[in-house]
Structure 1
Amino acid sequence: MLSEVLLVSAPGKVILHGEHAVVHGKAALAVALNLRTFLRLQPRSNGKVSLNLPNTGIKQAWDVARLQLLDTSFLDKYREEKPEQGDIPAPTAEQVEKLKEVAGFPVDCATTEHLAVLAFLYLYLSICRKQRALPSLDITLWSELPTGAGLGSSAAYSVCVAAALLTACEEIPNPLKDGHHTNRWTGEDLELINRWAFQGERVIHGNPSGVDNAVSTWGGALRYQQGKISPLKRPPPLKILLTNTKVPRSTKALVAGVRSRLTKFPEIVAPLLTSIDAISVECERVLGEMATDPVPEQYLVLEELIDMNQHHLNALGVGHASLDRLCQVTTARGLHSKLTGAGGGGCGITLLKPDLERLEVEATKQALTDCGFDCWETNIGAPGVSTHSAASLDTHVQQALDGL
């Protein structure tokens, strides 16, 4: 059992191209976002396991001896019924209800905060009950990612929890121990982290695609099509502005709206979806070239693809006045933007070419902030889940962790 403090981080994600078209069997490109969730796990001897989520004000603690006495055989039910799923049980509705009892939550609780706690309990009990005794742990998670913005915050959370618990219980090794000079796990270990994180995502979302946790685990860029996830050659870490319009939207309603439009105007909408797919394929090709030999002309192609995709998404009916405003502000400065995710508000991305003047970037950020938006300058194609020594963390992150 781990005896020292463990620090883990995992990235969020953005959809570069393929929103909505992916629902209809087309390709989507998802890339890791260098805004990260951080986890600090500290072994304790106080007989408690505690979970602190300062971003949401959640602080829970459970008596390990009481958890040890629980009948956790319900966690084996799915595995017995569907052995082809391997040795990782998938959470059922019945199991989630039992977890609510363990957490002391009301039956009708369904907030993101409640579900995050239930996902933690599911992973803790499922992974750690293989130990002779459940471990006493103090776990704190802090994130740079806004929740509910389509940026994969819940997946980064689940990936961090899975990686930390698997490492603490010595199901996978700590990459920083034994003189290893890497902070990344092996491919086999990452696969195990991803599989467990997917179960955490199931507790939170019910029936996720698996894209978000895969991007958060492996980082870089992934192609997703009809349930198949495949990594792309890692492109250079492209710089972007990520803008949150802070306009709430319903992904379910937006997806239904596109489906309705496709039914009503099949000869118009089907070609739009095919064209979005072609944009994804072309972007994948350009990013592959940039992985080995980036040249300025490739950025011009990426900008054109961004513009075309944004117009297509507007034609599908998933645009919004706030996103139009974002595009107007950046276009006036010679920059190119598109929505990312479901649309209808939410977030947008703006490509920043390497030769862009610093003053111009700051002026653009200020103009977007003046619109009432939140704006971050960050990279895409970031590394996936990683462990850190305290000294290796960025100063601002370390200060935030120390203050928790």
Structure 2
Amino acid sequence: MKVRARAPGKIILSGEHAVVHGSTAVAASINLYSVASLDLSSDDDGMLKLELKDTELEFLWPTGRIREVLPGFDCPSPSIPKSCSTESYKSIASLLEEQNIPEAKITLASGVSTFIWLYTAIHGYKPGKVTIYSELPLGAGLGSSAAFCVSLCGALLALSNCCALDYGQQGWVTMKESELDLVNKWAFEGEKIIHGRPSGIDNTVSTYGNLIQFRSGELTRLKSNLPLKMLITNTQVGRNTKALVAGVSERTLRHPDIMASVFGAVDSISKELSTVLQTPVADDIAITEQEDKLEELMEMNQGLLQCMGVSHVSIETVLRTTLKYKLKSKLTGAGGGGCVLTLLPTLLSSVVVDKVVAELEACGFQCLIAEIGGSGLDVCFENSSRN
């Protein structure tokens, strides 16, 4: 049996950094995906294979070797998400050492470790082949690792006894709510291997799609009624998220009253933004009115992020460039580089979009255009019966 699963990336529409200090934030899925293909072939060659297409890396492990290193999965329990212990992680590290990952790509090691854990914990020592490719740039704050985990878990669970799916159905299929809940829990275990202490926001957005409003650890799923398109500009400038978060905290200690007002304003922006997105729109005039409100909210949010000290010269370049075309932008995620969002109004000419993209790419930036708030995890079966 063969299955493909795709999971979207995410953007933070409002509230980054302020959410750490108790404000509301809003995240949304984007129609840029990580795709995992799983082939549980009837040809029992006793091997587990992983192909990472984007990085042109392939890995191969005898399933007997995995059994030696990770014993106890002869009868896996995919219905019960399982955390990777420190001891298991060390054992998996020994499997990676045998693969001789090139030094230039060593940052992928945590993702490969996550793959070994999730595959073995869900399917035990079955031979199989998994192929991964992604439309999401790595390390840009667009949820690439969560999309990897969700798509992988979706494919693995789709061919387990936990999902009652119609294997003969054509095209992309959405799992039931209970099945998505299970995928989300397993993906969170994968995120823990990659990030240590993830918030759970990225994998939740990737699993369910649409919008997530979050505050003080509580996640609320929302549904957008406004079709939105964004230009996402990847400045390709790396950033240290921990240092940026610490910098905002230090500024808060120096100016507690002022920063409290900043965080309060961000909270209000996030709440109003959620209201705007959920308001039904009847025609293009109504859409334009709502887009105008969103542009103002984005502009205000960006100003507050600048007050927090998390902008960057590359981000300011994007802001100036898009403003020349009367388009409003804001950073998304940690700041200090990373990605910038620019709202593309429904009635905006494609000629203008092409000009903006050309100018930004001339600065050395990567431009992606994405629809906001679409579906989450989908699966697609490639033949109608199990092998």
Q: TM-score, normalised by structure 2?
A: 0.91
Q: Does the 8 Å contact 2:169/2:381 carry over to 1?
A: no
SS at match of 2:157: helix
300-309 vs 96-105, greater mean Cα deviation: 96-105
**Which of 94, 97, 106 is the matching residue for 1:104?**
97
Partner of 1:169: 160
Change (3 A) 1:380 1:70: same
SS at match of 1:177: coil
State the 1:87 CA deviation.
Answer: 3.1
Partner of 1:305: 297
1:176-213, CA deviations, whole angstroms, 9 ceiling, x for partnerless residues? 52558861000000000000000000000000000000
SS at match of 1:30: strand
**Which of 177, 180, 195 is the matching residue for 1:190?**
180
State the 1:291 CA deviation.
Answer: 6.6
Partner of 1:280: 270
Separation in structure 2 between the aligned mates of residue 321 and residue 31 of structure 1, nearest angstrom? 26
Separation in structure 2 between the aligned mates of residue 69 and residue 263 of structure 1, nearest angstrom? 52
Change (3 A) 1:292 1:162: farther
Counterpart AA for 1:226: S
Q: Does the 8 Å contact 2:32/2:135 carry over to 1?
A: yes
Counterpart AA for 2:300: M
Partner of 1:92: 85
Counterpart AA for 1:162: C
Partner of 1:12: 9
Separation in structure 1 between the aligned mates of residue 267 and residue 339 of structure 2, nearest angstrom? 21
Number of residues of Structure 1 aligned to a counterpart in Structure 2: 375
Separation in structure 2 between the aligned mates of residue 358 and residue 181 of structure 1, nearest angstrom? 30
Change (3 A) 1:173 1:92: same
State the 1:358 CA deviation.
Answer: 1.1
Q: Does the 8 Å contact 2:73/2:121 carry over to 1?
A: no
Match runs of 1:197-276 below 5 Å: 197-276=187-266
Separation in structure 2 between the aligned mates of residue 95 and residue 17 of structure 1, nearest angstrom? 38
Aligned-pair Cα RMSD in Å: 2.5
163-172 vs 260-269, greater mean Cα deviation: 163-172
State the 1:227 CA deviation.
Answer: 1.2
User: What is the percent sequence identity of the aligned residues?
Assistant: 38
Partner of 1:153: 144
Separation in structure 2 between the aligned mates of residue 50 and residue 157 of structure 1, nearest angstrom? 16
Q: Does the 8 Å contact 2:30/2:372 carry over to 1?
A: yes
Separation in structure 1 between the aligned mates of residue 73 and residue 312 of structure 2, nearest angstrom? 45
Separation in structure 1 between the aligned mates of residue 302 and residue 188 of structure 2, nearest angstrom? 30
SS at match of 1:55: helix
379-388 vs 254-263, greater mean Cα deviation: 379-388
Counterpart AA for 2:187: A
SS at match of 2:198: coil
SS at match of 2:340: strand
1:363-390, CA deviations, whole angstroms, 9 ceiling, x for partnerless residues? 1111111111110111111210101356
Q: Does the 8 Å contact 2:170/2:380 carry over to 1?
A: no
SS at match of 2:291: helix
Partner of 1:26: 23
SS at match of 2:54: coil
SS at match of 1:295: helix
299-308 vs 224-233, greater mean Cα deviation: 224-233
Partner of 2:65: 66
Partner of 1:383: 375
178-187 vs 378-387, greater mean Cα deviation: 178-187
53-62 vs 372-381, greater mean Cα deviation: 53-62
Q: Does the 8 Å contact 1:11/1:219 carry over to 2?
A: yes
Counterpart AA for 1:378: A
Separation in structure 1 between the aligned mates of residue 238 and residue 68 of structure 2, nearest angstrom? 43
Counterpart AA for 1:121: I
State the 1:126 CA deviation.
Answer: 0.9
Change (3 A) 1:75 1:63: closer
1:294-321, CA deviations, whole angstroms, 9 ceiling, x for partnerless residues? 5321111000001000010001000111
Change (3 A) 1:290 1:137: same
Q: TM-score, normalised by structure 1?
A: 0.87
1:110-138, CA deviations, whole angstroms, 9 ceiling, x for partnerless residues? 94310001000110111112xxxx22111
State the 1:66 CA deviation.
Answer: 2.8
SS at match of 2:55: coil
Separation in structure 2 between the aligned mates of residue 67 and residue 292 of structure 1, nearest angstrom? 57
Partner of 1:57: 56
Counterpart AA for 1:34: N
Counterpart AA for 1:282: E
Q: Does the 8 Å contact 1:254/1:342 carry over to 2?
A: yes
State the 1:268 CA deviation.
Answer: 1.0
Extract unaligned runs of 5+ from structure 2: none
1:323-378, CA deviations, whole angstroms, 9 ceiling, x for partnerless residues? 11101111110100000000011100000111001111111111111111110111
State the 1:150 CA deviation.
Answer: 0.6
Separation in structure 2 between the aligned mates of residue 71 and residue 330 of structure 1, nearest angstrom? 52
SS at match of 1:185: coil
Change (3 A) 1:237 1:177: farther
Match runs of 1:295-334 below 5 Å: 295-334=287-326
Counterpart AA for 1:235: N
